[in-house]
Amino acid sequence: MQMMRLVRGLGILAAAALAGCKSLDIPNPTQPDARRALADPNALEAVAGGTMRTWMNTYMTDPATVLCTQANSCTASWNNDNMNFYSSLDADGTRKQRSWQNDPALAASTSIANQWFGFYSSLSSANDVLTAIRVAKLVIGTAANTKRSETIAQLMQAADLAEIAINYDKGYIVTDSTDISSLVYADRKAMRDIALKKLDATIALANANTFSTPSGWTNGVSYDNTQIARIANTMAARLLAYWPRTAAENAQVNWPQVVTYASKGISTGGAFDFTFVGDGNNFYPEILTWFDDMTSGRVHTRLAHMLDPVTQKDPWPDPGGNPQPNSPDKRLGNGTFGTAAMVAGYGNIPKDAGAGTDFAFSSQASFRPSRGQYHQSNIAFTRWDCDGQDDANSIGSGFCPFPVLMAAQNDLIWAEGLIRGGGDLGLAATLINNTHVKRGGLPPAAAGDGVAGLLKTLYYEQEIELFALGATPFYNNRRIDNLLAGTPHEMPVPAKELGVFGQALYTWGGTGAANSPTPP
């Protein structure tokens, strides 16, 4: 297996150094077993499927929770995943004292490290599968099964590289053809470009081969090759749209290219969400366990006010809080939810005909006042709670089906590409209305609204429809300069990685630069 397997304990460059250092070329007793595993077709197929689980679990965990709260979309005062530290406000209402804590001596450094090592772990497995198939010529039962594993490994290779590009200022470009003994950092633009190239390769592979993935790879949902191609197209559109760190960079996006990808994405040809099924253990969407549970996470009052400007005040009115809503948006409605038996524990109003589909009201202020009443909100998120009870079998405990990419997300990225790229405003309005009207019951957007009017409605849908979809709220607010002053716009290389060879620690956010200089 690649020496990159040492990533969790030593860092990627350490692995490369060991690979090229003859004086440390000592026998590894686990290496023969690793070679045999990669020569076993059944084991290799399991590795291919496992890359999807590793990628998903990484994508849906810390710092996704932190980033959603930094965007003032999600809110929680608990310091699990370091949310309280990174999302709280300084005395002046900014986050100028809350840069990324990129120091191994600081507990909050874990939020920087988690996705770096998680995505590179998934990438390592994907590269192992591709190497076994392309170099060792391993056949997994049949040619079709082999192509299936190759395509999924190619998809996950691209997806892992894409997340590093979106989240970090730089990274390592590691593919199945990389000599890891000579790794150097690549800037985030180069990371984006190689990820896009690998997504193009995935699309070509998926379109050229017929297969369906085992449902066990997502713990319940199978995808055929045409759907994998559409997933890759949506990932490509998302990468281009979510990569910018500032409004200035957002203006430079190749929006016609975004349209090209999104027009072949998961909202086309029979729309579907890229969905996994939680089991509370191996498939665990951590961000939803926090924010699809009204006892642990809430919808920030900034969004609650968007949903109902009349009743939901922003900031939260201390100490009485906000009253039951009467939102024109059917996703909130009158906020009723659950049953009478839940009222004592949840502060809900039992569900009636005016209930919303996605959000609910709670009379309880569930967060510690001493940590800042600005964390409080009376609006909870309930969309992915599959039994409507917020109980031990709900998404709040890690169960139920949940999306990692949504058809609506593809529509909104597509619409934005049309609006910002000089495309068909009528089509853009139609794409926005797929959720604004059909799910929200709100007045339709129209081409006559013009660019400014359509962008306003688009932004509303991005906030409401895509709430807590991983770190999506952060990316959408980052690229329009809508983060509070001091909020970092990206993450540095983790201290654990830098420390392997004594590289200087550095960070982003706070009183320093919020984000790195634009790459060449």
Q: What is the pLDDT of residues 71-119, one digit of tens each?
A: 999 999 999 999 999 999 999 999 999 999 999 999 999 999 999 999 9
Sign of the CA dihedral 247, 248, 249, 255?
Answer: positive
Average of per-residue pLDDT across 476-490 = 98
Q: Taking 80 as the threshold, does the pLDDT of residue 4 lie above it?
A: no
180: closest CA among 20, 21, 290, 313?
A: 20
Q: What is the distance between the alpha carbons of residues 500 and 12, in angstroms, rounded to a whole number?
A: 9
- Give the tens place of pLDDT for each residue, 490-509: 999 999 999 998 999 999 99
CA 507, CA 100: separation in Å to the nearest integer?
6
* pLDDT band (50, 70, 90) for residue 124: very high
Q: Span 410-417, mean pLDDT?
A: 99
Residue 223 in this model has a pLDDT that exceeds 50: yes
Tell which wins on pLDDT, 38 or 176. Answer: 176
Residues 170-190 pLDDT 10s: 999 999 999 888 899 999 999
Per-residue pLDDT band for 36 (boundaries 50, 70, 90) equals low
pLDDT of residue 9: 34
**Band of pLDDT at residue 38, cut at 50, 70 and 90:** confident
Q: What number is the average pLDDT over the span 12-31?
A: 40
How far, in Å, are 305, 451, 461, 480 from residue 251 at the CA level? 28, 14, 20, 9
Residue 391 pLDDT > 90: no
- Dihedral through CA 118, CA 121, CA 127, CA 130, nearest 10? -80
Domain 3-285+490-501: give its CATH code.
1.25.40.390
CA distances from 478 to 110, 112, 413 (A): 22, 17, 15
Bridge-based pairing of strands 298-299 and 74-75 is antiparallel
- What was the pLDDT predicted at 389? 84
* Confidence class for position 39, pLDDT limits 50, 70, 90: confident
Range(s) within the chain of domains with CATH label 1.25.40.390: 3-285+490-501
Nearest-10 Cα torsion for 55, 56, 59, 62: -110
DSSP state of 326: -
pLDDT of residue 387: 85
pLDDT at residue 519, rounded to an integer = 66
- Residue 214, preceding bond cis, omega within 30 degrees? no
pLDDT at position 102: 98
- Confidence (pLDDT) at 22: 30
Largest CA distance in the chain: 73
Average pLDDT, the chain: 92
How far apart are alpha carbons 265 and 260 in whole angstroms?
Answer: 9
Q: What pLDDT, on the 0 to 100 scale, is given for residue 380?
A: 98
DSSP 351-412: --TTB-SSEEE-S---S-GGG-GGG--SEEE-TT-TTSS-STTSGGGTEEEEEEE-HHHHHH
Provide, rounded to the nearest whole percent, the portion of the chain with pLDDT above 90: 87
- Indicate whether 16 pLDDT > 70: no
First-to-final CA distance of the chain:
34
CA dist 121 and 508 (Å) reads 24
Determine the average pLDDT of the residues in 310-323.
97
Over range 398-411, report the average pLDDT: 98
* pLDDT single digits (tens) 254-275: 999 999 999 999 999 999 999 9
Compute the average pLDDT of residues 484-495.
98
Does the pTM of the predicted model rise above 0.85?
A: yes
